Structure 1
Amino acid sequence: MSFSAHSTEHRVIESLYQWLSAGQSAWLCTIVSTWGSSPRPAGSVLAFHPEHGIVGSLSGGCIEEALIRKLSVASEDTDINPTPYLYEYAISEEDQARYSLPCGGQITLLVERLVATPDTLQHVKIILDTLNNRQRIRRVVPLTNAPVRLSTEVSDVAGQTVTVSPNSVSVLFGPVFKMLLLGAGEVSHYVAQMANSVGFAVTLCDPRESFLQGWQQEGVEVIQCLPDDLVRARFHDPYCAILALAHDPRVDDMALMEALKTEAFYIGAMGSLKTTEARCKRLVQLDCTPAEISQLHAPIGLDIGSKKPAEIAISIMAEVVSERHRFLTG
C-alpha cells in the first residue's frame, strides 16, 4: 500500500537537487499571492525541467500548461537574465470552462531559473537536508542579482508562509506533518481520509490483529505493533499529531504516556468526560506530570454533540487543523 512520507514541497526540492547534481539547470515557481479562484495556496511550489517535466502543482492545470510553454521557450535562451522575477497570471473565462474552475482570479508567481553551479547546488542541498531533518527553513529571494539568504532561526521560521517586500520575497519551507492514529475503527477511517486531504502523512497503528483484518485505505501506512515503541521511534517531533482513538486503555495509555513526553504539536484521546477523568488518573500512575497531562486534548475534537463516526472525525480534524495553524503562525 502506498503512502506519502514527504510533502509536495519536499519532493520539489528533491527533484531540483537531482537535476542540479546532474549539471542541469531548472526552474522553480512559487505562488506568492492569489486573488479570486485559486486551487492552491500561497507557498505552493512547482519545479520544471524541459526534459523531465514538472514536479509539484500550482493550479488545476491552466497555469501549469501556460508555464510549460513559457519556460520551455525561455530554457532555450542561453543568454536569459537569471534574476528572479514576479509573474502575474490571470485566469480567463476560457480557463474556467476548460479546467472547471469556479470563477476567475489572479495568481502572482515568483519565477526563478536555478543555474547548475556549485553555489546553487549547495543552496538546494541545505534546504533538502533541513527538510530531511524535519525542520523548517526560510528562503529570502531578492528580486535582484543578490544571493538568496537561508535561515533556520526561530524568529525567521515563524509567521506567514510567504511575505513580500518591494525588493524580495520570503518563502517558508517545512517538513510534512505526520499523524499517528491509534486504533483501527470507523472514526480512524474517516479521520485518515480527511487528514490525507489536508496534507498529513497518516500512519495507523493497532497491536490487535483482529481489528486490522480488512482495514485498508489508500495512502495510509498500517502497522501492527506496540504503539508506545512507534511513538518513541518516529512520532516525537513538533510536526506530529498523535490521536488515541482505540477507546481501549491497553492500546491508548502507554502510547499517550510516551506521546506526552514528546514535542508533538497535537495529542488527543477519544472518550467521554468520565472516561477522560479515569484516563488522566491512570496517566498520573504512569508517572506523567500535571504539565504533561495538560497537553492532552480530551475529550478529543470540538463538542458538536454527535455520535456518528464521520461527524466525530470532522470535529477532530477541525481541532487538529486549528492547532496546526496556531503552531505554524507562532
Structure 2
Amino acid sequence: MESIDFDVLNTALTWHEQGHRVLLGTVTHTWGSAPRPVGSMMAIRGDGHVRGSVSGGCVEDDLIRRIQDGELDRTLPFGLTYGLTADEAHRFGLPCGGTLEIMMEPVSAQSRIGELLTAVRQGLRVTRTLDLDTGAATIATDSEARQTVLQGRKLIAPYGPRFRLIIIGAAQMSRYVAQFALALDYQVIVCDPREEYLQEWDIPGVELSGEMPDDLLMRLQLDANSAVVTLTHDPKLDDMALIEALKSPAFYIGAIGSRTNNIKRRERLALFDISSAEIDKLHGPVGLFLGARTPPEIAIAILAEMTAIRNGVTISQTHAARTDPLPEASGNGASGGSCAVGEFSK
C-alpha cells in the first residue's frame, strides 16, 4: 500500500471516530486522460476538510461545496461521474475530454477500515470488498485481486504492504537516495555497521540499523515489495548484502560502482551459492543514464530506474547506467459554478 493511501484511510477512520461525517471517494473508472489513476482515494469531512486526491483539484473543490451544502448526505455508497462532455471536462481540469467515475462511501463502523489498516501494518496483502447495496465491507487475506474494480454491486480493492528500500551505507549519497525515496512513499531503512557514519545521520523518517548487512536482510525477509541498494564502495559490506538480496524476491537490487568494479563484483558473487540468473538481477552500475555528475543527480537516476522497474517498464541498454563520474559516491548509473455532471449506478 502506498503511504498516501494509508494516510487517507487512517485519516478517514480518525475523523469518523471523532464523530465527523466522512465520505471516502475512490476512482473506479477513467476514460481518456485523467489526472489520477483507478484506485486513487480521498477522504472528505462534512466541514470540507480533505485528505488525498482524485483529480487535479476541481473535482475536489466541487465535492467540498456539495458536502458542505448537504447534497452528499447519504447513508449508502453512491457513484459520481465527472467530465462527460469536453466543456465539462475543461471546467474540471480533466485533460483531453477525460472522464472519471468516483464511488463515494459514507464511512461507518461497517466500513471496517480499522481492521484493514491493522492487517496492512502486519505486512499482509488484503482485499476489501464493499457491498454497494448495504454499505458493509468484508476483509479477505487470500484474494488474488490486484487492482481496484467494480464487479456488479461490489467494489473490490486490494491493499498491501508499503514498498520499502534498504540502503546499505550511510554516507553522502545515501542521504539523497533516502530523501527522494521518502518523497516517493518508500519505507526507508539505512544500514551501516560503521558507528561514525550512523552518528552523523539526521534525515527524519528513516529507520537506522547498525547490524551487518546480511544479518539485517535475513531478519527483514525481503519480499517483492522490497528494494536494496548498496552504496558503501566497500566489498566487505556491499557484497554481504548482495549475496542475501540476490537470493530473495526483491524487485530491485542495485550496486554503486564503475563498470569495471561491477564486473569484478559479479565475478566475486559467482564464487558463492548464487546462480547466474540471480546475479543477472543485479543493476550495476546502478541507475539510469542521465548524464548525472553530482550525488543528488545520481540519486535521481537510481530512483528513476527503481520507479521504471516497479512500474513494469522495460529499460533498454541505451538508458542503463554507463559511467562512474564521482570518485566518492557514484558508480551509479547515471552519467553519471457546479462541476458535478451526474451520478451513476452500477
TM-score range, shorter chain: 0.7 to 0.9
1:85 maps to 78
Tell me how far 1:179 sits from its aligned partner: 0.9
| Amino acid in structure 1 at the alignment position of 2:302 | I
1:201 maps to 187
Bigger shift: residues 274-283 or 136-145: 136-145
Give yes or no for contact 2:29–2:102 (8 Å, CA) kept in 1: yes
Report the RMSD for the aligned CA atoms in angstroms: 3.8
Partner of 1:326, secondary structure, is coil
Tell me how far 1:306 sits from its aligned partner: 4.9
Unaligned runs of 5+ in 1: none
Give yes or no for contact 2:128–2:139 (8 Å, CA) kept in 1: yes
Tell me how far 1:54 sits from its aligned partner: 4.0
2:227 maps to 241
1:46 to 2:25 alignment: no
- Please point out which of 180, 199, 204 is paired with 2:166: 180
Unaligned runs of 5+ in 2: 314-346
1:325 to 2:311 alignment: yes
For residues 215 and 271 of structure 1, the distance between their equivalents in structure 2, rounded to whole angstroms, comes to 22
For residues 36 and 178 of structure 2, the distance between their equivalents in structure 1, rounded to whole angstroms, comes to 21
**Where does 1:193-232 land on structure 2 (aligned, <5 Å)?**
193-212=179-198, 214-217=200-203, 219-232=205-218
| Amino acid in structure 1 at the alignment position of 2:304 | A
Give yes or no for contact 1:15–1:55 (8 Å, CA) kept in 2: yes
CA distance 1:229–1:174, shift in 2 (3 Å): same
- Please point out which of 4, 9, 12 is paired with 1:8: 4
1:266 to 2:252 alignment: yes
CA distance 1:61–1:304, shift in 2 (3 Å): closer
Q: Give TM-score, length-normalised by structure 2.
A: 0.71
1:27 to 2:16 alignment: no
Aligned length: 309
Q: Give TM-score, length-normalised by structure 1.
A: 0.74
- Please point out which of 101, 123, 127 is paired with 2:116: 127
CA distance 1:61–1:222, shift in 2 (3 Å): farther
Deviations 1:77-99 (A, max 9, x none): 5xx441x2221345887876xxx
